[in-house]
Amino acid sequence: MNVTKLATRSGGGVGDPQPTTLAVKVYEQLRRDIRSGALVPGSPLRTEWLKSHYETGVSPLREALARLAAESFVTAQGKQGFRVAEISEADFDELVDIRRALEAGALEAAIANGDDDWEAEILATYHKLIKAASPAQGADAAAEEERERRHRRFHEALIAACGSRWQLRFLENLTSHLERYRRIMRPASQVSAGFVKDVADEHRELMERTIQRDVKGALKVLDAHRLRTYSAIKNQFANADES
Amino acid sequence: MNVTKLATRSGGGVGDPQPTTLAVKVYEQLRRDIRSGALVPGSPLRTEWLKSHYETGVSPLREALARLAAESFVTAQGKQGFRVAEISEADFDELVDIRRALEAGALEAAIANGDDDWEAEILATYHKLIKAASPAQGADAAAEEERERRHRRFHEALIAACGSRWQLRFLENLTSHLERYRRIMRPASQVSAGFVKDVADEHRELMERTIQRDVKGALKVLDAHRLRTYSAIKNQFANADES
DNA sequence: CGCTCAAGGATTTTCGAAAATCACCGAGAT
DNA sequence: ATCTCGGTGATTTTCGAAAATCCTTGAGCG
Strand D reaches within 7 A of the A58 CB: yes
Q: A85 — contact with chain B (CB < 8 Å)?
A: no
Band the pLDDT of A9: cuts 50, 70, 90. very low
**CB contact (8 A) between residue A62 and residue B63:** yes
- As a rounded value in angstroms, the CA-to-C1' distance for A55 and C8 is 30
Q: Quote the mean pLDDT of chain B.
A: 90
Check residues B22 and B193 and name the one with the higher pLDDT. B22
- Decide: helix, strand or coil at residue B13: coil
Q: DSSP characters for chain A?
A: --HHHHHTSSSSS---SSPPPHHHHHHHHHHHHHHHTSS-TT-EE-HHHHHHHHT--HHHHHHHHHHHHHTTSEEE-TTS-EEEPP--HHHHHHHHHHHHHHHHHHHHHHHHH--HHHHHHHHHHHHHHHHSPPSSS--SHHHHHHHHHHHHHHHHHHHGGGS-HHHHHHHHHHHHHHHHHHHHH--GGGGSHHHHHHHHHHHHHHHHHHHTT-HHHHHHHHHHHHHHHHHHHHHHHHHHHH-
Residue B133 has pLDDT above 80, yes or no: no
Residue B5 has pLDDT above 60, yes or no: no
Q: Tens digit of pLDDT for each residue in B26-75?
A: 999 999 999 999 999 999 999 999 999 999 999 999 999 999 999 999 99
Q: Which of residues 106-135 of A touch strand D (CB under 7 A)?
A: none
Least confident piece of the model among A113-117, A222-226, B197-201: B197-201
Which residues of A fall within a CB distance of 8 Å from B102?
98, 101
**CB contact (8 A) between residue B94 and residue A69:** no
B100 vs B226: CA distance, rounded Å: 8
Strand C reaches within 7 A of the B75 CB: no
**CB contact (8 A) between residue A66 and residue B71:** no
The alpha-carbon gap from A20 to the nearest alpha carbon of chain B, in Å, equals 5
Output phi, psi for B76, to 5 deg: -110, 120
* Mean pLDDT, rounded, for A115-127: 97
* Mean pLDDT, rounded, for B207-234: 95
Q: B105 — contact with chain A (CB < 8 Å)?
A: yes
What pTM did the predictor assign?
A: 0.91
Q: Tens digit of pLDDT for each residue in A143-163?
A: 889 999 999 999 999 999 999
Strand C reaches within 7 A of the A17 CB: no
Residue B189 has a pLDDT of: 75
* Mean pLDDT, rounded, for B85-96: 97
Contact present, B30 and B65 (Cβ < 8 Å) = yes
Strand D reaches within 7 A of the B45 CB: yes
Which residues of A fall within a CB distance of 8 Å from B170?
98, 170
Lookup: nucleotide whose C1' is closest to A78 CA:
C12
Q: Under 8 Å CB-to-CB from A13, ≥6 apart: which residues?
A: A6
Buried (b) or exposed (e) across A8-34, using 16+ Cβ within 10 A? Answer: eeeeeeeeeeeeebbbbebbeebbeeb
A138 vs A135: CA distance, rounded Å: 7
Residue A91 has pLDDT above 90, yes or no: yes
Contact present, A136 and A193 (Cβ < 8 Å) = yes
Handedness of CA A168, A174, A180, A186 (dihedral sign): negative
Residue B193 has a pLDDT of: 79
Least confident piece of the model among A124-138, B103-117, B120-134, B216-230: A124-138
* Mean pLDDT, rounded, for A179-195: 85
The alpha-carbon gap from A238 to the nearest alpha carbon of chain B, in Å, equals 21
Band the pLDDT of B208: cuts 50, 70, 90. very high
Band the pLDDT of A98: cuts 50, 70, 90. very high
Residue B138 has pLDDT above 70, yes or no: no
Band the pLDDT of B7: cuts 50, 70, 90. very low
Strand C reaches within 7 A of the B2 CB: yes
Residue B40 has a pLDDT of: 96
Q: Quote the mean pLDDT of chain A.
A: 90
Band the pLDDT of B83: cuts 50, 70, 90. very high
Lookup: nucleotide whose C1' is closest to B4 CA:
C5
| Positions of chain C reached by protein Cβ under 7 A | 4-6, 11-17, 21-23
**CB contact (8 A) between residue A19 and residue B79:** yes
* Mean pLDDT, rounded, for A122-142: 85
Residue A193 has pLDDT above 60, yes or no: yes
Q: Tens digit of pLDDT for each residue in B148-185?
A: 999 999 999 999 999 999 999 999 999 999 999 999 99
Residue A194 has a pLDDT of: 82
Q: Which of A72, A79, A102 is nearest residue B19 as measured by Cβ atoms?
A: A79
Lookup: nucleotide whose C1' is closest to B57 CA:
C15
CA distances from A73 to A115, A171, A180, B196 (A): 34, 14, 10, 41
Name residue B124's amino acid: A
Q: Under 8 Å CB-to-CB from B60, ≥6 apart: which residues?
A: B21, B22, B23, B25, B26
* Mean pLDDT, rounded, for A12-32: 83
- Decide: helix, strand or coil at residue B177: helix
Residue B13 has a pLDDT of: 42
- As a rounded value in angstroms, the CA-to-C1' distance for A43 and C1 is 35
Handedness of CA B187, B193, B194, B200 (dihedral sign): positive
Which residues of A fall within a CB distance of 8 Å from B15?
none
CA nearest to A98, candidates B239, B98, B59: B98
Q: A67 — contact with chain B (CB < 8 Å)?
A: yes
Which residues of A fall within a CB distance of 8 Å from B70?
66-67, 70-71
Output phi, psi for B45, to 5 deg: -100, 95
Residue A13 has pLDDT above 80, yes or no: no
Q: Tens digit of pLDDT for each residue in B11-23?
A: 334 456 678 999 9
Closest-CA residue of chain B to A98:
B167
Give the torsion through C-alpha atoms of B28, B29, B31, B35, to 10 deg: 130
B233 vs B235: CA distance, rounded Å: 5
